[in-house]
Amino acid sequence: MNIRAGWTPERQAQLEALGDPSLVGARVSVEHRGAYGLAGCAVETARLAGRFRRADAGVDWPAVGDWVAVRPEGATGGSGVIHHVLPRAGLLERKRPGANRAQAVAANVDVVFVVTTAERPPNLRRVERTLAVAAAGGARPVIVLNKVDLAADADGDLRALASVAGGARCLGCSAATGAGVDGLRGELPAGTTGALLGPSGAGKSSLVNALLGDQRLATGTVRLTDAKGRHTTTRRELIELPGGAWLIDTPGVRELGLWQAGEGIDQTFDDVTALAAACRFRDCTHRGEPGCAVASALAAGDLDEGRYASFEKLRREEAFQERQQDPRAAAASRGRSKAIHKQQRARRRVDPKLRDD
């Protein structure tokens, strides 16, 4: 196994800059009650250094997919202590259901597979929401229509999905027959990280297994011990694929409440934002002002009403969430997401492979 896939010279430099030769680099493969499973080094399990727990620490706790600096301990070195989270290329997050806080879904994700099922007509509104969350997390979305073996009209479904994709690729596949799975694999060159998001039952776990092929048994479980000494055996959520890419399976992520997703919404609805930019008034609310390009497009049928209503709904949800949020946390989170987007745009400029076309 190429345990260093994704460990770039940049990350090596970040580790060395910490100036502590006893620290090694590793990647978080699962988290449970403050206990962590690691991949990419000899240290299999770890707990957090005390500095993370101080109330005034102001540092992010590690999430699945994070690269961390860990100090091996004990005679065997099989466990250790996480001392730092290395800078993130992106962070997928959602609003924690029932709370006014962010919940990290996964860090350093390059590609989000937005998984839908061909068993019934695709839920385009749900797809748009997922696209916005992916974009807000700095990831490139790819829409996946799974279960094409059961489809009544796969081409029609793919056309409908393409109409809301905002330029994201749309791929049909079947985890059951293996059709199209190579297309998904092609989106994940060695060293990159993919994650699967979609409603339960769409076939995410089946797709993980299809992508793993014969490696399925090698992914295994990890035995974790939390701070209170409780033991659990948990399935790893970060899996290394045979080709050297990583895949993050996020079981239990059903609801995708928006968290700091303004930029992600604008990116997902770039057709609507382009129209809005052409309105006569800069602060046009598109509710009857003269010279409103959005209203004209709706009247002419160039902009789908369902899509526009979806844009409005997500924007309202985002605005509501921001108003509810503690202003200091909001500012910090906005700063973080701005920095990530700036980085992302710069990278797209230099690397044509990362363009969303």
What residue ranges bind ligand GDP (CB under 6 A)? 146-147, 149-150, 174-176, 200-206
Please report, as a single letter, which amino acid is at residue 140. Answer: R
For the residues of 271-334, what is the DSSP string, one character each?
HHHHHHHTSSSTT--SSS-TT-HHHHHHHHTSS-HHHHHHHHHHHHHHHHHHHHS-HHHHHHHH
Nearest distance, CB of residue 189 and ligand GDP, angstroms: 24
For Zn ion, how many residues bind (rule: CB under 5 A)? Answer: 5
| Interacting partner of 149 out of Zn ion, ligand GDP, none (Cβ under 5 to 8 A depending on kind) | ligand GDP
Nearest distance, CB of residue 174 and ligand GDP, angstroms: 4
- Residue placing its CB nearer to ligand GDP in the complex, 118 or 168: 118
Binding of residue 286 to Zn ion (CB under 5 A): yes
Alpha-carbon span 327 to 9, nearest angstrom? 36
Say which residues have a Cβ less than 8 Å from residue 43's Cβ, sequence separation at least 6: 24, 26, 70, 72, 77, 78, 79, 80
Segment interacting with Zn ion, rule: CB under 5 A, options 71-79, 181-189, 233-241, 290-298: 290-298
- Residue placing its CB nearer to Zn ion in the complex, 129 or 286: 286
Whether the CB-CB separation of 28 and 63 falls below 8 Å is answered with yes
- Residue placing its CB nearer to ligand GDP in the complex, 43 or 207: 207
| Interacting partner of 247 out of Zn ion, ligand GDP, none (Cβ under 5 to 8 A depending on kind) | none
| Interacting partner of 26 out of Zn ion, ligand GDP, none (Cβ under 5 to 8 A depending on kind) | none
| Interacting partner of 344 out of Zn ion, ligand GDP, none (Cβ under 5 to 8 A depending on kind) | none
| Interacting partner of 68 out of ligand GDP, Zn ion, none (Cβ under 5 to 8 A depending on kind) | none
17: helix, coil or strand? helix
Whether the CB-CB separation of 2 and 244 falls below 8 Å is answered with yes
Which listed residue (279, 297, 314, 340) binds Zn ion by CB under 5 A? 279
* Phi/psi at 140 (5° precision): -90, 120
Q: To the nearest 10°, the Cα dihedral for 81, 84, 86, 90?
A: 90
Nearest distance, CB of residue 334 and ligand GDP, angstroms: 32
Nearest distance, CB of residue 205 and ligand GDP, angstroms: 3
- Residue placing its CB nearer to Zn ion in the complex, 212 or 298: 298
Binding of residue 294 to Zn ion (CB under 5 A): yes
- Residue placing its CB nearer to ligand GDP in the complex, 202 or 272: 202
Sign of CA dihedral 206, 211, 217, 218: negative
Nearest distance, CB of residue 262 and Zn ion, angstroms: 18
* Phi/psi at 45 (5° precision): -135, 155
Say which residues have a Cβ less than 8 Å from residue 266's Cβ, sequence separation at least 6: 273
- Residue placing its CB nearer to ligand GDP in the complex, 97 or 291: 97
Please report, as a single letter, which amino acid is at residue 96. Answer: R
Whether the CB-CB separation of 211 and 204 falls below 8 Å is answered with no
- Residue placing its CB nearer to Zn ion in the complex, 27 or 286: 286
Residues that bind Zn ion (CB under 5 A): 279, 284, 286, 292, 294
